[in-house]
Every structure is written in C-alpha cells, then in structure tokens.
Amino acid sequence: MLRLTLVLTSSEANLATEAVLRTQFPPSPFSIWEIPLYILLGALLGLICTVMMWFLRKVAERRSALRKASQTWKKVLVTWIDPLVVSTLTAVLTFVPGEYARHSSMDDLAILFTGEELPSGWQMVSKYYTLSILSAVFIFLLPLCITLKIPTGIWVPTFIAGAALGRMFGEVVASLFPSLNAIPGTYALAGAAAFGSAATRAVSVAVITLEITTAMSMTLPLFCASLAAIAVSSLFKEKSVYDTLLVVSGMPFLPFIDFEPTMTAADVVEPCLVYIHKRTTIARILLALQRLPHHEIPVVQDEGSMILLGVVSGSQLRRFVRNYYQANNLGAVDEDLGEKPKKNPSLMSWMTVKERLTHHTLTDNSGGFNGIGSIDVTYNALSTQMPHLIGAGAPLPFLMDDSKMLGLLNDAWDATKAEKLNRTVKITEGRICVIRPMAMTISSNTPLDDLHMIFTMLRCDHCFVCDYGALEGVVTTKGLLRSGKFTDST
C-alpha cells in the first residue's frame, strides 16, 4: 500500500522503492540465538506499555469527571488551564534550544535505527541516560496529550519510545554478550514495532514498520517481539489505547469476547418480544408503544405464521392512534399514549405498574451498545431487571404478559371506549404507517462469533432472529455480553 501510494503521488518511479526511514543493516542482521532476546525485549515492553496504559486510563477518567462536573472552576480548569499546562510542558520537554532546535522526530528514529555508534551528542552524560530520558518523556507525555480534546497522534510517540527502549536494550546486549555481534539498531527497530503493537494491540504495526523501513530481513525478530509484547500486555486488564479512550468517553463500544464454538443466536435470543400484527387493535398498539416508547416496533403477518413484514416507527404509530381517536371522538389520547400523566391514577393501573417497574430506566432516546434508551435498557426493564428463564413452562415477565397488561388498560376505560379500542384495524390504513422492510435479520443458527462481528461493524444494539421468515425473537448486546468471556476494565 505504501509503495502504491508513492507511485500515485509522484511521477518518479524510483520513489516507489525509497524507504521513509532508510536502514542500512547487513544482509543477516541477527543470529538465531538472538531470537529469545527479541522475545524478552517484547515482553519487557509489553509490561512498560501496560503501565503507560494504566496511567492513560487514570488521566482520561480524571479529565472525564472534570468535564462532567457542575462547578465552574472545574470546567475552566479542564477547558483552559489543563491544555495550557500540557502544551507548555510538551514544548519545554520536546522543543529544546541550541543545536537540536531543528531536530525532528524522524531524525531521532534514523539515529536510533543506525547500526553504528550513537553520535557524541547522545553520549555527553551516558547513552543509557539519554535513551532513558527520551523514552520516559514520550511515555509520560502521550497519556497527557492523547486525552485532551485536541487532535493528537499515537504512532510517532509510541514508535520513538519503543525505539529508545529497544536501543537501550540492544546496547546492554552488545555490552554483555560481545560474542553475539548484536546490532543495537535492530533492537531499536524491534522495540519500536513491539511498543506500538502493545499500545494498539495490533500486529499490523509490525507490518507498517517493515514497510516504512524496507528492512525485510528483520521480519522474524519484529514479529517475535511484537507478538510477545501483545501477549504480555493482554495478560492485564488494561485495554488498548483506542479502546480505553472509547470506554472512558462513553462512546459505543463492544469489547472482544470469547464464545464457545458451538454457541449460536438461539442460545442468547430474547423470546419475549414486543411486536404487533398487521391487523391488530388500538389497545395492542398502545401496549406496544408503552413498552417500546423510543424504538421501531416489528410487524408480523399474523400470530399463526409470525412472518416478519418489517418495522414501523413509534412516531407513525402515535399519529395513527391520534387519528383513530379523533375519528371516533375519543378523549384522553395523551394519557393513553403515556405522554401526559393521569390525574390521581389508581394503585393498580397500567401506568402505575409500568412506572414502578421501570423507574430506573432512562427514557432519553440516545445511545446504543447499552447506552441511554437502548434496546438493552428497555428489555431489561420489561423483564423486571432479571434475566428470565427460556423454554417451555418458563415464567413470563409481568410487563410482557399481554392478557394482564390489556386487562389493566381496559380497566381505565369505559365500556364504549374499550369496545372501540379493541376493534381490529389495519395499521397501513390511511397510509399513516409505513412498514419498512428489514435490511438484515439473522437465523437462530448464526454463530455468536459472526453475530459479534455484525454488531461491531454495523454498530447496532439488537438484531431480530428469524427462521424461514418467522420472527423468533431478538438478540441484544446485553445477551451477547452475558454469553461470552471478556476482561472488564471498569
């Protein structure tokens, strides 16, 4: 990809083979006896990166708490003073005066990757001291900068820090084992790839390192160090830098989960589903709207076939109900839709029971992946905050029992109103409601690994399960998370 990009952006063919960071290693830059040392380097960098990720998470959590605080001084601190202090500190530590004023990060990497001795400027005190300070500065500044509300990068800081630590490790190896003829620059290259891989949990960092340096002879050491770094960092609860920022900021996020190979969607399906028929009653539409006030409601052909026709939006159903109330001279439509509280409600009414059982449920229509107003929150409330049993003879959650809920609704109406609201109507009459076909459904035999990929790529929080077109239930992210094993960092 890099070479193709260079060809497309320049008319000179020789740029296609020019390395961004040229290295001049011999044809055989390492011996097979050094492979355990590269693995050890990767393991050490994995540990150091884990400490850095812990520091990054703490800084991100603290700044997130300050941004959500109500006190004015905290908002001023995190909005103005904090970025000013970090930018000043970064300038002092990285933009030094004198002969190094025009020294760029790429120059540092080129020096670290050289197979020769470090320049004299790097050895005024000690080369180990210089390499330690260089790596410590970038490891310390990365968590401070990346958690600001300012666009910053991850690749260059982790690359330089890893290269400095790798070079220091290589210098130690060259001093302790002179018979190996170790080249410190090769350890710097492996360290850069390993530290970046541990921070992002991506092996592709090693591939990118090979592409920008064209040091293909270093393929084996780079992958050994990178895999060792990822393996060690994965032993702890800290996530990658990207996942950490997603979790702390509250953005939609679905973690990596290990599933049993034999588990399918049928093992996590929620069979107690809110749906309506194409020909139904206004009372059942009201019941569905009370259960799912902020979501699209699935529509099936009839109770016998359960063929899924699509979904209809709650706003269209509300307009349909209001139009029906107006045509039949019925009152209290706002109260029946749950948009206006009833005066002096009875202790045993639909609204009272729903309010008592769902008082922990947030009704703001935002979020996803267990966010505010998500399908997970709604179904969790409808099942009385407890996962119910699945199978024949299992107890039905109270709020999902149609007969009981319709009975509570009818108790609040007089005989004339109850008769009109229990008449069969077609929801597509008057073209107020439009049944939108589903873009995708899954079968009960869909493996959970595939389902996890679908949820991650499409950023959805639920998916309907259909067998031969018949609606069987719904799978939510909460059911998916309960069925797998993953490391929780919170």
DSSP 401-445: -HHHHHHHHHHTS-HHHHHHHTSEEETTGGG-S--BPPS--B-TT
CB of 256 closer than 8 Å to CB of 486: yes
412 token code pair: 């609040």
How much is the pLDDT for 365? 36
Q: What 3-state class would DSSP assign to 88?
A: helix
pLDDT tens string 5-42? 334 334 333 433 455 777 778 888 888 999 999 999 99
Strands (DSSP E) found in 194-337: 276-277, 279-281, 297-300, 308-312
The mean-pLDDT minimum among 126-130, 161-165, 189-193, 358-362 falls in 358-362
E strands, 247-360, where? 276-277, 279-281, 297-300, 308-312
CB-count burial class (<10 Å; 0-12, 13-18, 19+) for 173: buried
| Euclidean distance between CA atoms 274 and 136, whole angstroms | 56
Span 294-308, average pLDDT: 89
For the segment 101-128, the average pLDDT, to the nearest whole number, is 76
Residue 196's pLDDT band, with cuts at 50, 70 and 90, is very high
The whole model's pTM is what? 0.63
Beta bridge partners, 194, equal none
Q: What is the pLDDT of residues 260-281, one digit of tens each?
A: 888 888 888 887 788 899 999 9
Give me the pLDDT at residue 11, please: 35
Rounded Cα gap, residues 458 and 477, in angstroms: 12
Specify the amino acid at residue 284. R
Q: What is the pLDDT of residue 395?
A: 56
CA atoms of 48 and 165, how far apart (whole Å): 10
List the domains of the chain with CATH numbers: 2-249 (1.10.3080.10), 265-483 (3.10.580.10)
Q: Encoding tokens for residue 180?
A: 């190996």
Q: Which residues contact 26 (CB under 8 A, 6 or more apart)?
A: 115, 183
Asked if residue 237 has pLDDT above 50, the reply is yes
- Name the pLDDT band for 368 (thresholds 50, 70, 90): very low
Q: Per the structure block, which two tokens stand in for 196?
A: 């970046």
Please check the confidence at residue 465 and state whether its pLDDT lies above 80.
yes
As given in the structure block, the two tokens for residue 230 are 């990822």
How many Å separate Cα 90 from the centre of its chain? 29
pLDDT per position as a tens digit, 202-218: 999 999 988 888 888 88
CA distance 144 to 90: 9
The angle subtended at Cα 409 by Cα 389 and Cα 337, nearest 5°, is 100
For the chain, how many residues are written?
A: 490
| Mean pLDDT for all residues in the chain | 79
Determine the Cα–Cα distance for residues 138 and 105; give it in Å rounded to an integer: 11
Q: Name 137's Cβ contacts closer than 8 Å, sequence gap at least 6.
A: 93, 94
What's the CA gap between 455 and 185, in Å, rounded?
43
Q: What are phi and psi of 251, to 5 degrees?
A: -80, 160
Cβ-contact 282, 324 below 8 angstroms: yes
CA 434 to chain CA centroid, Å, is 33
